[in-house]
């Protein structure tokens, strides 16, 4: 069995990513590994009607507050857990953060969509799985029944 030294968990603050984070915390605790939690803010592109105001700062400020609250809830189990807020395409930023932080396992939640929903929405988890140089553990939002 592989022993991981640094686990990176992705969060979008949803129930699905919460399940993935629980799994990442358990793995990190069991392995004595570092834990990093990353949230990626996708900023919508400007339209012809948008004024040139700073959209990034308010969005990242809210994300940083939510991430700190999330980290506070797991610090009793993983006291050294660190959080990162990034801006850009989620799959790109997750992979970049994993590389920068030296993660050797990435844990992401997935809704398990198929067909039209998957084609229209894409899948961050799928891209991370396909492009990651390190193992990726996907955690489904619910068991299909």
Whether the predicted pLDDT of 99 surpasses 50: yes
Q: Helix (H, G, I), strand (E, B), or coil: what is residue 26?
A: helix
Kindly state the average pLDDT of the residues 129-138: 96
State mean pLDDT over 105-116. 78
Residues in contact with 39: Cβ distance below 8 Å, sequence separation at least 6, in sequence order: 10, 11, 12, 13, 63, 66, 67, 83, 84, 85, 86
User: Band of the pLDDT at 101, cuts 50, 70, 90?
Assistant: very high
pLDDT at 119: 45
Give the pLDDT confidence of 68-79 residue by residue, as tens digits: 999 999 999 999
Are 91 and 124 in contact by the 8 Å Cβ rule? The answer is: yes
pLDDT greater than 80 at residue 143: no
Tens of pLDDT, residue by residue over 13-69, are: 999 999 999 999 999 999 999 999 999 998 776 655 555 567 788 999 999 999 999
Q: Mean per-residue pLDDT for 112-126?
A: 62
- pTM comes to 0.86
SS3 readout for 60-117? HHHHHHHHHHHHHHHCCCCCCCEEEEEECCHHHHHHHHHHHHCCCEEEEEECCCCHHH
Average pLDDT, the chain: 88
Residue 96 reports pLDDT greater than 60: yes
Residue predicted with more confidence, 118 or 141: 141
SS3 of residue 6 by DSSP:
strand
């Amino acid at each position: 069995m592989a022993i991981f030294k640094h686990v990176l968990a992705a969060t979008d603050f949803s129930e699905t990513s919460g399940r993935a984070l629980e799994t990442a915390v358990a793995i990190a605790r069991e392995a004595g590994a570092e834990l990093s939690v990353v949230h990626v803010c996708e900023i919508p592109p400007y339209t012809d009607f948008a004024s040139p105001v700073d959209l990034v700062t308010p969005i990242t400020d809210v994300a940083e507050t939510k991430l700190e609250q999330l980290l506070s809830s797991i610090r009793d189990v993983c006291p050294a857990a660190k959080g990162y807020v990034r801006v850009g395409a989620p799959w790109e930023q997750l992979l970049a953060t994993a590389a920068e932080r030296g993660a050797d396992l990435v844990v992401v939640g997935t809704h398990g969509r198929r067909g039209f929903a998957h084609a229209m929405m894409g899948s961050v988890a799928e891209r991370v799985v396909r492009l990651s140089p390190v193992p990726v553990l996907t955690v489904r939002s619910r068991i299909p029944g």
